[in-house]
Structure 1
Amino acid sequence: MRLGSLERSIMEALWNRPEGALAQDLAGALPSRPAVTTVLTVLVRLSHKGMVSRERLGRAHLYRAAATKDSFVAETMRAALDEAGDLEAAVNRFVGTVSPEVAAALRDALAGRDGAVP
């Protein structure tokens, strides 16, 4: 799932605040200083996408990320691979671009899933 720049900024702020945040607090914390109404509009959009949950808190709502940033990144990678015309070519190109640390993490993850990777 692709996010616009304001959506991404709001999600980053929520991932950094697992306890949640009010729209007014988010608007004040973002570098671009958007209007609270703009932040509310984006939060509603993110809620419809299943990325944000909200809880009534008096007259306002407390917003929280519905999943961790790691979960979001993993789902984004999976969705991108699902769109590949040639899965093997896409994976090979991806692997050819990653750092040694990422390659090691991939090997470790695969070893944990399949028992062993040669």
Structure 2
Amino acid sequence: MLGVLTDAARPLTPGDVRALLLASIPLSYSTVVTILTRMHGKGLTARYRDGRAFRYSPLTDRASMAARRMGALLNDADDHASVLRRFVDSLNPGDEDLLRRLLKDHPPG
């Protein structure tokens, strides 16, 4: 759902989001409202009053969300070394090189 908001040129109502998702994910209007409300509560979206409805826009991008999910999954694991090792083993060669450069340039902390 964040992707729909990120791709939009303007803040969207729950009805707008549902219409854009309907072809791939048939969700009820109330489900879309619930998800958008939760996303707003987590600080992922801004919410603007528009008459009786709200419009939502993203406060983060796809890369930040992916990084947040990766961090949450790592934090849920007991053995971080095993998870990271398997992650690195699954990378494409170009991504592995990029990760090495990013780690080299990133100060510890």
Report the TM-score range of the alignment, normalised by the length of the smaller protein. Answer: 0.7 to 0.9
Counterpart mapping for 1:1-118 below 5 A? 10-17=1-8, 19-30=10-21, 31=23, 32-114=25-107
Unaligned 5+ segments in structure 2 are none
Deviates more, 1:91-100 or 1:57-66: 57-66
How many residue pairs were aligned?
106
Percent identical residues: 28
User: What is the Cα deviation at residue 63 of structure 1?
Assistant: 0.3
Calculate the TM-score normalised by the size of structure 2.
0.80
* CA–CA separation in structure 1 for the residues paired with 2:100 and 2:5: 31
User: What is the Cα deviation at residue 33 of structure 1?
Assistant: 4.2
* CA–CA separation in structure 2 for the residues paired with 1:41 and 1:114: 39
Alpha-carbon RMSD across the aligned residues, in angstroms, is 2.1
**Structure 1 SS opposite 2:88:** helix
Q: Kindly report structure 1 stretches of 4+ aligned residues shifted beyond 4 Å.
A: none
Change (3 A) 1:79 1:18: farther
Query: Contact conserved, 1:23 with 1:39, CA < 8 A, in 2?
Result: yes
Calculate the TM-score normalised by the size of structure 1.
0.75
Query: Contact conserved, 1:18 with 1:65, CA < 8 A, in 2?
Result: no
